[in-house]
Every structure is written in C-alpha cells, then in structure tokens.
Chains A and B, each alone.
Chain A
C-alpha cells in the first residue's frame, strides 16, 4: 500500500487553458482529424473532430492534467512514478466508453466508440450544440427560470431512471456535465465516474468527488451508495440553478450534524411560495444521510409530475 497525502485537487474547469491540447489538423487514429476545441474537465480535453465520412463529432481525450504532459503529440507522464496512476485512469476511460455505449436516450449524449492513439484513448460522441449548464449560472439573468429548472430536473431524472435500470450510477451529475442544447433540452455527458451499483469498493484507490454536489457517502471508501446518491447530485445542481450558488459541501453538513450544530445548508422549501412543493422535493433529495432521501428517480419524477 502506498501512503499518499489524503487530499488532492484537480484543476477546476475554468482554470484550464488549452496549452497542452492537440493542435488543429492533428489526425487521431485513422478516421478523425481535430478541427476545434469544445471544452475540458479534470481528466482531459474534448475536441471537435471531422470523421472521414464528413460528420463532425466530439472526441474526449484521456489526458488527466494532474498526471500527464505532452511529449510531442504523445501523452507522457509528469513524473516517472505516475505510470500506474495514469494506467488506472486510462482503464477507467475504457469503462466510461463501454458504459456510454449502452445508452440510447434523448437526454444522454450518444457515443462510446473507443479510439487508441498517442499513448492514450479517445471516446467518440455526438457533438452537442449548446452550452454547459454551468455557463448559464454565472449571472442571474442567464439562469434558467423556475419552470425551466423543473424541466431540467424531470429530463435528467428520466435519464437517471434509464441509467439506474441498467444497473449503473452516474455519480457525477453537476452543472458542468449537463449541456443545454439549442432546443433548451438538457443532455447528460461525462460518464467518467459511472459505475455499477453497490458499495464503493474498499480498495478503490481514488474517490473522485465534486465539492458541493457529491453526497457525503462518495467521500468514504466502502460506504453505502445507491440511486439516492445520484439524486443528491441532481438536487444540488437544481439548487444551484435556483440560488445561483454552489451548495455547501456535504461533508461540512455531516460534520455539523455529528456535532449537533444546525445544518449549514438552509432548506429551500421553508418559504411559502408556489414552488414550495418543488423546492421541498429538492430538500428531500439533499438529506445528509442517504436513507433520509427520496429513494429512487421514479419516485421523485412522480412527485414532479404532480406539481
């Protein structure tokens, strides 16, 4: 077992500048040529590429900034002793592609073909025209209305129902992983954390969490996770749409609860308004303890249809 510092951070989305991105015109494998740059997350760049048949697609490259550098066009290591970490992440990418390929749903990006090149792997997806939800949250006049927020909730819940029915959890629902397309429909991308149901395995060498959105059980190896974990993340995302602020980190709430202090996250549904049923359901899905939450996507969806 390796002892490492307990906490690392990967750079936040808006901090990444495409200095290490592949240049426009680069051929990736036999069938794709990079034509543009779509965005980046903690685990790499997503490019726009032209396929040999003339179609434009999105190509997500496995290039975890924390571990990798560019050697020419190839992906290399930042330090000589990071080979195992990188390999593990690359394996995770292959799993991501395989999981993504299983779904066909209006609110889930289509794709999942895996391409190997430059000492790393790429996932081919349809290009979603639009902007990530996070870009709509930076100022109040861009934020979705209550009605739109509710619709985002319904659509993502519908996608979650499908994902859960296949035995997976998404585990990374957040405003940067939902793209609002030109028709205003939310599309779920990024299955990089998706995994079959069950417990976080005890020997899981890495737990990836997103501050504010991940429920407390995602921070603990071996903790019980379930459908309600995804619901917490969706609820946190919807709450961000409503309040304009990233919610308080779940573990801080857990700590407060353990010490008998009041929850630092104030309930949305306390104030009487015509939205209080909707707001109340967000609160219910954001309960600190997993067993106190709305249990399934189906159940939450049902409440949302009634209101």
Chain B
C-alpha cells in the first residue's frame, strides 16, 4: 500500500497550487458528499473560494490526483466531470445580482474545479437556526423574490440547481439573497438493477420535492421552485414544511396531507404571496407552479391569479405588459427563447 507523504485526509493540503500557480490553497473549508471546499489566493493576491468535485464514495486521493479504484465508477465519474464542465460554463458568463458568479472553471487532478468569489454575507443555514435573528415579512418577501429571480436565470439556461437548501443561500449585508451554485447537476444512476446498492439517507429532506430525491418521477423547473418555496416556508413559520416523502406516504394511505398551508394563517403577509408559496409546494409536479417566471407573477401584489394563469397561456401573443413592466418583458423574452 503506497501512501503519499504525510497526508492525513483526502483533502488537498494548504499551499497546494492549481492551474500552474494561479491559485494557492490557503484554507480547507467544509466537505460535502460531492465536494471539498477551499479558500485560495490568486496570483495577484485576491481571495477566492474553490470547490473541488470529489465523490467520497468512489474517489480516493493519490498524490494530488483523484483515483477511482473501480472501473465502472471511473466511467461514471469522468462523464459527470465532463457534463458538469459543459453545463456550468454559462455560470462564468453570468453577472447576476442574485446568483453567485463563477470566476473560473477548470479540469485538473482528474476532476473539476469551480472558482467563486467569496460571497460576503451569512449563510441562511446559520441564520435560520439562530433565534435572535428574525426576518420581517418584508425581508422574507424580498428573499423569495430574489430567489425566484435567480431561478429565472438558471432555468433560462436550461439548467436546474437541484440542491436549494438554506446552506446554498447567502444573505448579504443589505438583506438580499444570493443563490450559490453547487455541483447540483450531479445525478447518480439509481437505475442499474443488477447491483445491490445501499443508500444512506440523511435527515433534512424537508426542502426537496419527491422527484429530486427519488428520480423515478419527472423533474423540471418546478422541482427547484418547490425548494425555494420550502425555504421561504421555513422563514415564515419557523419550521420547514412536512417532508415531501411523508406527504406522499400520507396521501398513499388515504390520510390527509400533513402539509399545513400558509394561505389565510399569516396575517402579516399578503395572502396572494402565501398562496403562491402553497402552489409552489403542490406535492405532485403537474399541479405545481411550473416556472420561475410564473412564480414571480403570482407572487407579485398587483397581479390577479386567474389573470396570471390566463396570461401565462398567451404571453407570447400579448403586446402590452400589465403592471410589472420590467418583469413582464423579461418573462416574455425568456418564454420566447425556450
């Protein structure tokens, strides 16, 4: 058994360089099941965050390289790296207020790296568990709008985020929400029926709709929308909504859906807004709000629901926007583009 020098974990060591010296790792941050996270300095001294694609269950580190003992795994891994790099290229060209931009994307050591500016602010995951930090209805509504807007961007490029949780949302000093990109496009292959596969499910599945965790069902823009609404739900009520799997189980057993609707029970919020969240958390994909643009419409104060539904149908034909001119034009462009 060969082991490189004094490495104690599979993370890259501090002062390791990447991209021929462009980045020097300065700090090792948290890990997840699909990434190791670092802080680094660029050659001109700027601090950046670097995410390294590393699937803990199949990858090992050998020197700085990623090694995959099983051939079948190596094939899967390499194609995930390629897909990720292809899909995420658009993130580098993005300049959006509500979506953390990606500064650089590259392949090295047999895997993919994503370089991001270190966003200033606090993770919603930390704020949401802190009882001394209360969000006002106005702040919550604005976070919902920010997230919806970032989804318009992501979905506009034909991508899904797939992993929207409070730990992928940053709240900046001025209170706006920024969605952090992740290796969320990573999808595992659960279909191979000839293998025995054990899975470890972790708690906190409250934000994801059924189809994101168990991909036997159709996924789409509505899947990300469910997550956003679930995060907003948590902010409004102080608790995440009932887990989608528990909801599916209840409905399957002819019991009432344990989801407690927001509409009508939070006086400080506009009922239209609450109803928009409820509609975004419809259990089954087909009855759910279908697009981020639709979500933006139905959330906004001055637009009538039925009007919006109708408008969505013939949005391409309409020439004069209703109230929210800016948004409307953008929606129209997006709808036409897709």
Residues of A within 8 A of B (CB): 1-17, 19-20, 23, 41-42, 65-67, 69-72, 76-82, 134, 138, 174-176, 203-213, 216-217, 219-221, 223, 245-246, 249, 251-252, 254-255, 257-259, 288-289
In the complex the two chains form, is B70's CB within 8 Å of A72's CB?
no
Report the bound CA distance from A138 to B195 in whole Å.
Answer: 10
Contact with A along B238-259 (1 / 0, CB 8 A): 0000010110110111000000
What is the total number of residues of chain B having a CB less than 8 Å from a CB of chain A?
Answer: 62
In the complex the two chains form, is B202's CB within 8 Å of A5's CB?
yes
Contact of A82 among B31, B201, B243, B253 (CB under 8 A): B31
Residues of chain A within 8 A of B33, CB atoms compared: 4-5, 8, 66
In the complex the two chains form, is B199's CB within 8 Å of A211's CB?
yes
In the complex the two chains form, is B197's CB within 8 Å of A12's CB?
yes
Residues of chain B within 8 A of A66, CB atoms compared: 33, 56-57, 200
B128 and chain A: residue at smallest CB distance: A3
Report the bound CA distance from A66 to B253 in whole Å.
Answer: 35
Q: List 18 A-B contacts (CB under 8 A).
A: A3-B165, A6-B204, A6-B205, A11-B57, A12-B195, A12-B196, A12-B198, A65-B57, A69-B60, A79-B11, A81-B31, A204-B203, A208-B198, A208-B199, A211-B198, A246-B194, A258-B252, A258-B284
In the complex the two chains form, is B56's CB within 8 Å of A251's CB?
no
Contact of B72 among A15, A76, A216 (CB under 8 A): A15
B260 within 8 A of A: no
Residues of chain B within 8 A of A9, CB atoms compared: 57, 188, 190, 197-200
In the complex the two chains form, is B213's CB within 8 Å of A17's CB?
no
Residues of chain A within 8 A of B94, CB atoms compared: none
Report the bound CA distance from A191 to B188 in whole Å.
Answer: 27
Residues of chain B within 8 A of A174, CB atoms compared: 196
Question: Shortest beta-carbon distance, A134 to chain B, in Å?
Answer: 6
Given A66-B56, A78-B10, A258-B252: A219 touches B196 (CB 8 Å cut-off):
no
Residues of chain A within 8 A of B193, CB atoms compared: 212, 245-246
Contact of B213 among A6, A16, A208, A211 (CB under 8 A): A6
In the complex the two chains form, is B56's CB within 8 Å of A67's CB?
yes
Residues of chain B within 8 A of A67, CB atoms compared: 56
Question: Shortest beta-carbon distance, B235 to chain A, in Å?
Answer: 14
B217 and chain A: residue at smallest CB distance: A255
Question: Shortest beta-carbon distance, A20 to chain B, in Å?
Answer: 7
Given A4-B32, A259-B284: A249 touches B216 (CB 8 Å cut-off):
yes
